[in-house]
Structure 1
């Protein structure tokens, strides 16, 4: 019985790269169900590729095979690997940090190095620049269709050997909750932090509370303002900044019907720090004549 095959890359869809991957998978098994996670990962942005897997994988049926190709090191000595997650999904990808978020938040059961002598598109041996087509889509399709078993992908790889990106944990400190802007909600310009609703609850934050929100890049403070922690966007006015819990049970910051990231030119990653401090009441501005 075939499993679903889900593709992710930074290729975009303006040329034939993604279509070629579809063609390779279809050539393995024309009945295989193939889906797209996204092909709009910013070029070479391994961090975002890692996060989008975390955002998506657990919502698919067990046994689904994911192929993730954000591969600035294609053709180098970086490994090509396949992993089985704790949720019983499979991911085919370069070993360059793409599995960082999945490993930390969902867990991995085992990893294997892809044996390219047998798991490579026939007659592609002299091509070293499109492993997404020649190795990952081909191996992913063979695994998803049952042509090969997971064990036939190649030799085992120790979990400790996997390449990981540095992650920063959110924490309570000095009467504040501190974390990072881990990713952007691209379509709407919202900021998704690495601060869980559980941590906020432990800090004593409740819906309706006023929060002082500060955002810093690696070089300077970008933003500081007071916002309300709301249950939904309907609890705020259009154009008003707000703090909310997103679909992954993580704290987000937004402008109701506006782009927060666009308005303040804010990015994401470990260099973007965000801090929340509970306010007892709004500060009163003094009259300049007093």
Structure 2
């Protein structure tokens, strides 16, 4: 194994929860290399946890073990699993939808249910509210360090049985491109959509084109304006909006040196829709 362990939670760093997970992992093997993906997932936001895994996982070496703990159902009958991706990496997580983007974008080869009779921190059996420490950190560390093999995690689970959140795909038709605002580039306030750059190519959209962008929430118009499709933020003036290709090869919406999300009170999720079309196709009555 690579001995790389990458942690993601919604715990924040204001108390000792993440530190306890580190301690458990290093107690298994002090030579483990532990890294943080993020601990700033909004509380209970499984969708964001799923997206951040998708954003990150392909850039890590094979056999890296990821632990993702955003677990509003902790202590319930939801399963705890370890999955193996087609790129030969592992994710330790509650089976609550956290794997949605990985299933759709990268693919999961195998899944196993964590056998807590074997893979659980000793003397923690009466605790039901901190599986991040007692089950996931312990199991992930044992797997990353080679103390257990993947087969020793627990019984196999059919990949098709993994819990998934609802996902929609972006579409292209004669009226333009329609998609969703999947997530925010939190620090800078950019919108990241589920519209892949290939749809722009298929639609005949080129850098420098002016496009009409409409954003709706539950069919209520939030924003409508014309902006340019640029290669970089420098292709617009300070304070101007633009469309760009983000680091995942999807279309983003930004304000040059400003927060688009804050300026227009934009959020994310299935109800946040975005439509894009060429200005040459607009017919004014």
TM-score (norm 1): 0.96
| Alignment correspondent of 2:251 | 251
Report the CA distance between 1:96 and its aligned residue.
0.1
Residue pair 2:2, 2:62 contacting (<8 A) in 1 also = no
Residue pair 1:210, 1:281 contacting (<8 A) in 2 also = no
**Alignment of structure 1 residues 18-167 onto 2, 5 Å:** 18-167=18-167
Q: Distance in 2 between matches of 1:255 and 1:149?
A: 48
| Alignment correspondent of 2:262 | 262
| Alignment correspondent of 1:174 | 174
| Alignment correspondent of 2:230 | 230
- The verdict on how the C-alpha distance between 1:283 and 1:23 changes in structure 2, with shifts beyond 3 A counting, is same
Q: CA offsets, 1:203-251, max 9 Å, x none?
A: 1100010000000012511000000000111111110000000011000
Gap runs ≥5 in structure 1: 285-290
Residue pair 2:237, 2:256 contacting (<8 A) in 1 also = yes
Report the CA distance between 1:280 and its aligned residue.
2.2
Report the CA distance between 1:174 and its aligned residue.
3.1
Report the CA distance between 1:160 and its aligned residue.
1.4
**Alignment of structure 1 residues 5-20 onto 2, 5 Å:** 5-20=5-20
Q: CA offsets, 1:112-148, max 9 Å, x none?
A: 0000000000000000000000000000000000000
What value does the CA root-mean-square deviation take over the aligned residues? 1.3
Secondary structure of the structure 2 residue equivalent to 1:228: strand
Gap runs ≥5 in structure 2: none
Residue pair 1:2, 1:146 contacting (<8 A) in 2 also = no
Residue pair 1:47, 1:165 contacting (<8 A) in 2 also = yes
Q: CA offsets, 1:78-125, max 9 Å, x none?
A: 000000001110000000000000010000000000000000000000
Secondary structure of the structure 1 residue equivalent to 2:19: helix
User: Where has structure 1 moved over 6 Å in runs of 4 or more?
Assistant: 281-284
Q: Distance in 1 between matches of 2:2 and 2:259?
A: 41
**Alignment of structure 1 residues 212-227 onto 2, 5 Å:** 212-227=212-227
Secondary structure of the structure 2 residue equivalent to 1:280: helix
Count of residue pairs the alignment pairs up: 284
Residue pair 1:197, 1:249 contacting (<8 A) in 2 also = yes
